[in-house]
Chains A and B, each alone.
Chain A
Amino acid sequence: MRKLLILSTALTTVGFAASAEQVTVMSWGGAYGVSQVEAYNKPFTAATGIPSTMVDSDNPATPIKAMVEAGNVTIDVADVELSDAIRLCDEGMLEVIDHAALPDGADGTPALEDFVDGALMSECAVANIVWSTVFAYDTTKTSGVKSLADFYDLAKYPGKRGLRKGAKANLEMALMADGVPAAGVYDLLATEAGVARAFAKLDTIKSDVVWWEAGAQPPQLLADGEVVMTTAYNGRIFNAAVGEGKPFEIVWDGQIMDFDLFVIPKGTPNKDAAMKYVAFATGTQPLADQARYISYGPARKSSAPFVGKFKDDKTDMGPQMPTAAANLSNALANDFAFWADRDTELSERFNSWLLSN
């Protein structure tokens, strides 16, 4: 008994000592989470001695408000989309990050100029990658799929479709599939008629949709043969296709590009360590290293020369990025302001639409 007491006291003390300096990062799990552990967390702990933990979530933006409001913040850094970063910053849920204090690029460019346009848009966030929502299909089940219109063409390409269970990206893609050019999508979506048109287009495939929530699901649905085509995060499909040799093909037509950014929830007990982590992880080299594990583009210009081959040392990562010239012919940049303002409302509308028959 006495031994047990001493032991447990000792353990508790160790626990407290450790909690003085540590970082818990919440990200999206799967292949993307692995890339961050390899490129950010491990080097960060090696360089600073601060232990770092990775936690998975379907969307790390959602637990933040609950944590901050309950006064029980258990996450020190979260990886979120741009519109969510702006929305949460608007609602006072995030710590402000001093962008000027971020390290210079490897080539000596000051941080404020080194990041690509929009990457430092929110004063509460620092971007790490450019990713995109694309759709992909199984080449053994169907072929010749070229455009978003084909995704919605059940007569020509029969079979189930996978879509993310949410309004974001689905509405834009529905409009583009309906013939709206990328440049006009958000102007149209701002109107009631545009939203109605998007839902009407979604209606045409509603009964054939399998809804996914976690980023790791779509490659699984394709591999299981549950769907013949699915929207997905481009990196997940790349990893399944190149990393695991699955017969998947990405269609870049109508891709929707977005940033993922690091934010720090307000009231985290490890604010200093969190700031150190964000500064380290968004440095030139870690961002470039990240691209070795998954096909997401680094948010710093100075990282580009360091982006080389996939971890198999054969595949060139350049052409796999959402920002590669060949992939940009009909691409849409996610309108963060639109979604920051209208996410709540359109999510509820989407939900009603999903549940009504």
Chain B
Amino acid sequence: MTHADQPDQGQEPELLRTADGLLLQTALNRVSRRAKIKAFLLVLPLLAFILVSFVAPIGQMLLRSVNNDQFYSNMPELTLWFADKEFGVEPDEMAFTALAADLTFAAKERTAGSVGTRVNYDLPGSRSLFTSAARKAKGLNPPFKDAFIKINKDWVDPELWAAMHAASATYTSSFYLAAVDRKRDTDGSIIQVDENRRIYVQLFWRTLWLSGLIAVLCLLLGFPVAHLLATLPMRKASLLMILVLLPFWTSLLVRTTAWMVILQGQGVFNNILVSLGIVADDNRFELMYNQTGSIVAMTHILLPFMILPLYSVMRTIPPSYARAARSLGATSWTTFRRIYLPQTIPGIGAGGLLVFILAVGYYITPALVGGASGQLISNQIAFHMQDSLNWSMASALAAILLAAVLVLYWLYDRLIGIDNMKLG
């Protein structure tokens, strides 16, 4: 690369050759290609690592949100029956025969629970139908439709058959629908779920709103600190910097627990107020286990992510600009607004985006101090990953969150420009 680009010192047009007769250009190309391959080989481990540890799991997660095999791989006969049927078709004796065969098999393989769990995702309350019928499936006799009605009359419920039909498809949108509080009606149209089950849309908005609020609070608190750090003499600034970094290096759990100790009903803060007579003993502030708790603890924990980019940007702003503005007659407010602030935009953008995106995915802190009103969407994702074990639902929620963050990132790029960002 480097040599080939140089002008060849004004020699005659005859092509240069190497000692073994090859065209110089070819030889050089060969060397540079070798160098490229070597460079690529050096990057290869990282690339492979990213593929294996980042791209593949995310791809698998996205796949899980549309593909759940708990029903169709355990109920082959019924899946086959559904395959050529319209949505919402009345189940006939054939369907119930297939159901009986599948449930007998499921009872033997101990998969009835999984099948029931899958249908239960779409139709809450139906899991027990499958587990109880599977226990009796072996003793069933034709006509099967009547036999199933005898076990439980819910077996002819059109909603149940619609849910089973949806679950028999290899790819389904039902988890995405559920993630935005929607579901499919028996005729296939999309409707809202019952009022007492609508939680996710509200949680998504709450997550975005709280994350935005926390980013703004971090900016308000972090800006003066970063400015102070950037303008103080080096010795004092390093001392102050340690005060910023020390909490940054402290475990997240320790910091969260510290806030619990300080802010809880019988905590330090309330005790001081009570002993000063500012609030009555039986009327203490509720600052923990609610939204306030989440906001306070998260703002504190994320503050360094705002201060550090701001500081690194502010350090590079020459103080002479502000002095020049003042000497030309600008007031201190105008100097700040027209000269200083615009130059800190890359830092504000980086810090804001960093804090916002970290806050959107926060889960331990709200889980510990958020109570019920301070829970974020990530707590629901964790709930579906760890407790309800509905991984498809967790994936759908996570995918929507990912998409929302990407959209916001794109908006940021359009409005401020990602090149303008400076991380430090």
Point out residues on A near B: beta carbons under 8 Å.
62-63, 65-66, 87, 89-92, 158, 160, 210-211, 224-226, 340-342, 344-345, 347-349, 351-357
B67-94 at interface with A (beta carbon < 8 Å) = none
Q: Check if B388 sits within 8 Å of A224, measured CB to CB.
A: no
Q: Check if A225 sits within 8 Å of B265, measured CB to CB.
A: yes
**Cα(A89)–Cα(B386), bound, Å:** 18
Given A66-B386, A226-B265, A226-B266, A352-B199 contact (CB < 8 Å): yes
Q: Is the CB of B289 closer than 8 A to any CB of chain A?
A: yes
Binary interface encoding of chain B residues 88-130 relative to chain A, with 1 for a CB under 8 A from any of its CBs, else 0: 0000000000000000000001111110010010001101100
- Chain B residues positioned under 8 Å from A347 (CB to CB): 387-388
**Cα(A357)–Cα(B259), bound, Å:** 25
Q: Check if A90 sits within 8 Å of B113, measured CB to CB.
A: yes
- Chain A residues positioned under 8 Å from B282 (CB to CB): 158
Q: Check if B131 sits within 8 Å of A341, measured CB to CB.
A: yes
Q: Is the CB of B389 closer than 8 A to any CB of chain A?
A: yes
Q: Check if A62 sits within 8 Å of B265, measured CB to CB.
A: no
Q: Would you call the interface of chain A mostly helix, strand, loop, or mixed?
A: helix
List 10 other contacts, CB 8 Å, given A63-B386, A356-B202. A90-B112, A91-B111, A211-B372, A226-B264, A226-B265, A344-B127, A345-B125, A349-B196, A352-B196, A352-B198
Point out residues on B near A: beta carbons under 8 Å.
109-114, 117, 120, 124-125, 127-128, 131-132, 196-199, 202-203, 264-266, 282, 289, 371-373, 375, 380, 383, 385-389
Minimum CB–CB distance for B118 against chain A, Å: 11
Of A87, A211, A349, A352, which is in contact with the most chain B CB atoms at under 10 Å from its CB?
A352
- Chain B residues positioned under 8 Å from A357 (CB to CB): 373
Of B110, B131, B383, which is in contact with the most chain A CB atoms at under 10 Å from its CB?
B110
**Cα(A181)–Cα(B372), bound, Å:** 30
Q: Check if B197 sits within 8 Å of A349, measured CB to CB.
A: yes
Q: Check if B113 sits within 8 Å of A348, measured CB to CB.
A: no
Q: Check if B383 sits within 8 Å of A351, measured CB to CB.
A: yes
Minimum CB–CB distance for B16 against chain A, Å: 48
- Chain A residues positioned under 8 Å from B112 (CB to CB): 90
Nearest 8 CB-CB pairings of A with B: A341-B128, A92-B110, A91-B113, A90-B113, A225-B266, A345-B124, A355-B199, A352-B199
- Chain B residues positioned under 8 Å from A344 (CB to CB): 117, 120, 127, 388
- Chain B residues positioned under 8 Å from A158 (CB to CB): 282
Smallest Cβ-Cβ distance to A210: which chain B residue = B289
Report 10 cross-chain contacts, Cβ distance below 8 Å, ordered by A residue: A92-B113, A225-B266, A344-B127, A344-B388, A347-B387, A347-B388, A348-B388, A352-B196, A355-B372, A356-B199
- Chain B residues positioned under 8 Å from A89 (CB to CB): 110
Minimum CB–CB distance for A11 against chain B, Å: 26
- Chain A residues positioned under 8 Å from B389 (CB to CB): 62, 65-66
Of A66, A211, A348, which is in contact with the most chain B CB atoms at under 10 Å from its CB?
A348
Given A66-B389, A226-B265, A356-B113 contact (CB < 8 Å): no
Q: Check if B265 sits within 8 Å of A91, measured CB to CB.
A: no
**Cα(A158)–Cα(B120), bound, Å:** 39
Smallest Cβ-Cβ distance to A96: which chain B residue = B110
Minimum CB–CB distance for B269 against chain A, Å: 14
Minimum CB–CB distance for B173 against chain A, Å: 19
**Cα(A244)–Cα(B38), bound, Å:** 67
Q: Check if A345 sits within 8 Å of B386, measured CB to CB.
A: no
Contact of B124 among A62, A348, A353, A356 (CB under 8 A): A348
Minimum CB–CB distance for B136 against chain A, Å: 14
